[in-house]
Amino acid sequence: EVQLVESGGTLVQPGGSLRLSCSASGFTFRSHAMHWVRQAPGKGLQFVSAISGNGGTTFYADSVKGRFTISRDNSKNTLYLQMSSLRAEDTAVYYCVKDGYDSGNIRGCYFDYWGQGTLVTVSS
């Protein structure tokens, strides 16, 4: 059974930093691209970042480029999102998402498993 468990969400001040983690199990982690998708309270889904199976290719939304860094440790089956220069508009539930393709490449919008999310609140 595929499981994605996010952690690290908390209350942080504007301008602060935070690292989210996602522990994955139930599938061959290195064979799948992974993604972070967020949802602000009462709002829609927003793509944040993606990383290929070997970590060699990354995508970012313009709104987080230069402030967030996605990475993965395939030996620990763990996905990370390092967030810095946080703003109020980054307040959201952050979902860890598994890519449905097993090529490891970042390709289509095929998000087949989602974690339950971790809440990040940016406020003074």
Residues near another protein (CB under 8 A) are 35, 37, 44-47, 50, 59-63, 95, 100, 107-112, 114-117
Q: How far is the CB of 75 from another protein (least distance, A)?
A: 27
Query: Of the two residues 44 and 75, which places its CB atom closer to another protein in the complex?
Result: 44
Instruction: Kindly tell me which of 66 and 108 has the beta carbon lying closer to another protein.
Output: 108
CA distance 124 to 117: 22
Indicate the residue among 16 and 55 with the shorter CB distance to another protein. Answer: 55
